[in-house]
Copies of this chain bind each other. A is one copy, B any other.
Amino acid sequence: MAQQDAQNGGSETAASAAVSFLAVKPQLLVEAPKANDAVLFYKAAFGAEEVARSLNPKRKAEHELPLILSAELKIAGSTILVADVVDDSASPAKAGGNGVVLCLETEDVEGAIAKAVSAGAAAEGEVVEGEGACCAGRVGKVKDPYGFVWLIFTPGKKCADVEA
């Protein structure tokens, strides 16, 4: 298991070892505007409880309901996120080949992206501020060598409380 040992320890630099993570949450990307329906379904089917919801401040028209940037659900103590995704969206959550992305929380977005890239991931797009897919915040995106998309984010302001 020399290879594993090397991966676990030897290949880390002091700088990259300092990157730490706070949580991983799967985010389900739902074709807008069905995320709210999906949340209702997960409540009915799996007993999910909604603990937070952030809305997209940009509406296309005044009569439209705001889209869900990210709704945070708890099922049996585990967290899943549900988001509306619009085809023309510039959101980093925009589907990267499949409909589930992994949201990885850290206090060092750039450091975490650099570490992932040095391990073989590909950075996608820029780190953006303010319209984080996993609650408003700073967020960047990498695709790992196996095709999975990771949103690496630092939450900004506190998520809006759930609108019961």
Instruction: Choose among A24, A42, A79 the residue with the greatest number of B CB atoms under 10 Å from its CB.
Output: A24
By the criterion CB–CB under 8 Å, are B115 and A4 in contact? no
A interface residue numbers (CB < 8 A to B):
1, 3-4, 7-8, 11-12, 19-26, 28, 30-31, 34, 37-38, 40-47, 75-80, 97-100, 102, 104-105, 112, 115-116, 119-121, 144-148, 150, 164
Q: Do residues A38 and B146 form an inter-chain contact, with CB atoms below 8 A?
A: yes
Number of copies: 2
A83 to chain B, nearest CB (A): 11
Q: A11-B44, A119-B45 are in contact. Are A20 and B76 (CB under 8 A)?
A: yes
Partner of A115, one of B7, B45, B104, B119: B45
Nearest CB in chain B to that of A73: its residue: B24
Q: How far is the CA of A77 from the CA of B3 in the complex (A)?
A: 24
Please tell me which one of the listed residues B8, B41, B46, B120 contacts residue A146 in the complex, with CB atoms under 8 A apart.
B41
